[in-house]
Chain A
Amino acid sequence: MSANEISSWIIGIIVLLGAVLSLISAFGIIRLPDIYTRSHAATKASTLSVMCILTGAFLFFSIVEGLYSARILLGIVFVFITAPVGGHLISRAAYHSGVSLWDASVQDELNGKKQKQPSSSARESNNG
């Protein structure tokens, strides 16, 4: 086997791994019980899957075609930075808008803090 063929096999395996991770994340978002566990599944696994697939695309275009694409690298960095931030923001919005936790969850530390300082939303609006 030539070097090109071996590297394209490795790229195919990386891309297939990313697709399987994305499917696992989709099953997580359909099977898990409440929104916080669902955001756990959707944020982590799909971020790793998109980074695997973009790494495979970058390796393909750099080794096989001989083109070093900075746009794919920027895409990897951007997804890696922004996807956890988006998951954090939407979970925070869900908590503050009163979406309840799963029945079997036993620990809710933010609830105690909110009752100690009941005007948390007013404090936020004063700060912002």
Chain B
Amino acid sequence: MIQIILILSAVLLSLAILISLFRVAKGPSMPDRVIALDMIGINLISLVAVISLIQETTAFLEVILLLGILAFIGTVAFSKFIEKGVVIERKRD
């Protein structure tokens, strides 16, 4: 019964990823796509957690932390690129 609940929530998370993938494809401006990609990253974290609950293993717990860090770094880099045109600024003198 618990397995059925966990599999149901994995299906719901996959549906959420699919819907936000539609926003990535359609989104009228660039920041729309970045927000949708950030949300896909966050949903992937929860999907990894649910799958490690289904399989009852602790082997995937590093993946959770790593995906969180990578999603944040990607969002910050994209927003700097959209706002200023460069990701890493040159030092002025």
Task: State the A residues within 8 Å of B (CB).
Answer: 8-9, 11-13, 15-16, 18-20, 22-23, 25-27, 29-30, 35, 38-39, 42, 46-47, 49-50, 53-54, 56-57, 60-61, 65, 67, 69, 71-72, 74-75, 78-79, 82-83, 85-87, 89-94, 96-97, 99, 128
Contact = CB atoms under 8 A, between A and B. Distances in A.
Given A29-B23, A86-B72, A91-B31, A53 B49 contact: yes
Contacts of A18: 9, 46
Given A19-B46, A94-B31, A99-B31, A26 B16 contact: yes
Nearest to A126: B92
B32 A38 contact: yes
A19 B38 CA distance: 17
Given A25-B39, A75-B45, A19 B8 contact: yes
Interface of B: 1-2, 5-6, 8-10, 12-13, 15-17, 19-20, 22-23, 29-32, 34-36, 38-39, 42-43, 45-46, 49-50, 52-53, 56, 58, 61-62, 64-65, 68-69, 71-72, 75-76, 78-80, 82-83, 89
A60 B35 CA distance: 31
Given A57-B53, A83-B38, 9 more contacts: A19-B12, A19-B13, A20-B12, A23-B13, A35-B32, A42-B39, A50-B46, A53-B9, A54-B46
A42 B64 contact: no
A50 B43 CA distance: 7
19 contacts: A8-B2, A13-B5, A15-B50, A19-B8, A19-B10, A25-B16, A26-B39, A35-B31, A42-B20, A46-B39, A57-B50, A71-B61, A74-B65, A75-B45, A78-B69, A83-B38, A89-B76, A94-B29, A97-B82
B31 A93 contact: yes
A19 B9 contact: yes
